Structure 1
């Protein structure tokens, strides 16, 4: 790609972020009522945030989650770890995926978690964002497979010949994959598996939808393969789908499911003590989630309204290894999403806060 075209690509990304940020500001008006994570229920709109006992707490805002990413926020709030650190975390309403990062940029929300490729695309477009602590990881082989970051399902009635990802090499024509949004874990892991088995990636046709909708879409034959996250594994199996691969098969190790908690650079510079306290609190919640999976699965199930048998696996060591970010960035470069060399691993993180999460490490 020429330098001129590279420049145009980044300009387009930057303009898109600005436009989406503007849309998100308007979209926030009149959304669901603000609530703490532990007040979230499967009922649309949830309940009124509890009053009292919050005087003097620092309010941190993030969007409402009713998906695979809920567990650490819910646990940390429910067990009082945020309050111990002088924080009240407030869920501000559900957002579409393409509104989430812009809501951090424009200040409607303060903090969230993100995969490295999502963060890299935003930074390449000019966003001033930094990861401060490690969140989700891919567990090793000693951990129950139900905690692996992603399982890939097919409908055996429609595709009885597909028993593995490798079998897709002989699939005629395009292969429809469900995906929440592009440049996330789903296409990163799918592309990695396709490269591993020598399957041309141009056979993939992405169909955007939430994981919960992917269950029905696969059953109805609207998509051919549905990669989904742990809270939705049981729903897929109950619908008759079969697993043909998972994220562990990529061979990427712990980085296969990697996420980081992130803030804007301005927020970090203006509120370093708040960021420190957040990292310390959320790391306690992550550890509890790993150590009490059945209890946390029930809490998440109650909140999102479907049976849940497992959640993601979370890092005990909150240090973000910059080497783990490189494969995520390189795939974006290889797919010409961002120009080669535009974003370095060091552009995505600040390491000063990780130590506070590791204070509680056993």
Structure 2
């Protein structure tokens, strides 16, 4: 009887805890779900050390009000970021479009809602070696180590496309070793000869170039020109249950992207500094001094079909996806983007 009573007591305590938890969650909800009312006011997310993401900028500029971002930690991996969104650990995540395709194809009910990073003449991801390195072209990569932030995402896909375009077979490509290195440590790993090639992008790249002693072999911009490479995602369920909140998030983030695209870079850097200093996460602000551009190809992060189609085709060609396994409609939506009407006319 004591054991049975104990089980009843344990069950009762679990029920009470669950009710308390649900009551706490309800504090984040706005009463009612009518037009213009936000279904939830706080959004859990992951940030990036020493950098400012556009939803954070949107919050700083006042575009996100009355919504608030709730930081739960940092990430250096796009695939991990969107996996956390898929499992509900965060409300949204961001990754390379090719990684998003693969996760959706595996059954994750995600939808891309806005682009958030890319490459242009000033902001791109380059594959760098030491000045005296024997690596000159694609064939020289065989047997070498390439350091990047994560596997199965932007940097790996671009590397393999470069190698394929330059005549390497699948067997030869397998002889190129990918080493996962945190972005903040990639330059150091190259200079200490722990890796042979370092993938450096944006502000981290510019800081490394300023020190000298490294040279570029190729970049994603060399291969594809200007393009938006990654998107923020929500689960389809979150969008269905919180349409007004998601719409507000997309509108605010799109406006923040446009602010960063059209504001003098000195002012953008100053605002980034303010955000980093005020959030007090024990970070340095050296990296953001090298900000040059957003790298985002379209106004407000509007997503063009081609930005997913190119990687959909690539994954089918490489055998990672079956032909017509998923469609573009499964991957993204622009309907919450305030620039959709304007840009759709131009397509």
Answer yes or no: is the 8 Å Cα contact 2:46–2:71 preserved in 1.
Answer: yes
Q: More deviation in 101-110 or 204-213?
A: 101-110
Give the corresponding residue for 1:323: 306
Are residues 350 and 80 of structure 1, via their aligned partners in 2, closer, same or farther at CA, if it must alter by over 3 Å? Answer: same
Answer yes or no: is the 8 Å Cα contact 2:44–2:92 preserved in 1.
Answer: yes
Give the corresponding residue for 1:102: 83
Give the corresponding residue for 1:3: none
Give the corresponding residue for 1:350: 333
Q: How many residues align?
A: 289
Give the corresponding residue for 1:213: 185
Are residues 298 and 331 of structure 1, via their aligned partners in 2, closer, same or farther at CA, if it must alter by over 3 Å? Answer: farther
Deviation per CA, 1:241-299: give whole Å up to 9, x if none.
2223222210x2333x4222210000111111111111110011101112233333455
TM-score (norm 1): 0.72
Are residues 96 and 169 of structure 1, via their aligned partners in 2, closer, same or farther at CA, if it must alter by over 3 Å? Answer: closer
Aligned residue among 140, 143, 157 for 1:174: 143
Aligned residue among 82, 85, 109 for 1:128: 109
In structure 1, runs of 5+ residues without a counterpart are: 1-55, 140-144
Give the corresponding residue for 1:154: 129
- Does residue 278 (structure 1) correspond to residue 249 (structure 2)? The answer is yes
Q: Distance in 2 between matches of 1:344 and 1:281?
A: 28
Give the corresponding residue for 1:233: 205
TM-score (norm 2): 0.74
Could you tell me how far 1:326 is from its partner in structure 2? Answer: 1.7
RMSD over aligned Cα, in angstroms?
A: 2.7
Give the corresponding residue for 1:74: 56
Give the corresponding residue for 1:114: 95
Give the corresponding residue for 1:244: 217
Deviation per CA, 1:190-238: give whole Å up to 9, x if none.
2222233223433421001122111111001111111122020133222
Could you tell me how far 1:239 is from its partner in structure 2? Answer: 5.7
In structure 2, runs of 5+ residues without a counterpart are: 1-38, 277-282
Q: Distance in 1 between matches of 2:72 and 2:154?
A: 24
Q: Distance in 2 between matches of 1:294 and 1:246?
A: 26
Are residues 205 and 347 of structure 1, via their aligned partners in 2, closer, same or farther at CA, if it must alter by over 3 Å? Answer: same
Give the corresponding residue for 1:190: 159
Answer yes or no: is the 8 Å Cα contact 1:178–1:209 preserved in 2.
Answer: yes
Are residues 241 and 170 of structure 1, via their aligned partners in 2, closer, same or farther at CA, if it must alter by over 3 Å? Answer: closer
Give the corresponding residue for 1:16: none
Q: Distance in 2 between matches of 1:326 and 1:339?
A: 14
Answer yes or no: is the 8 Å Cα contact 1:179–1:226 preserved in 2.
Answer: yes
Q: Distance in 2 between matches of 1:319 and 1:96?
A: 24
Could you tell me how far 1:359 is from its partner in structure 2? Answer: 7.6
Aligned residue among 221, 226, 229 for 1:258: 229
Q: Distance in 2 between matches of 1:229 and 1:96?
A: 13
| Higher CA-based Rg | 2
Deviation per CA, 1:36-95: give whole Å up to 9, x if none.
xxxxxxxxxxxxxxxxxxxx9811221122266x34233212211112xx2112221124
Deviation per CA, 1:142-169: give whole Å up to 9, x if none.
xxx332x312211124x1x445xxx232
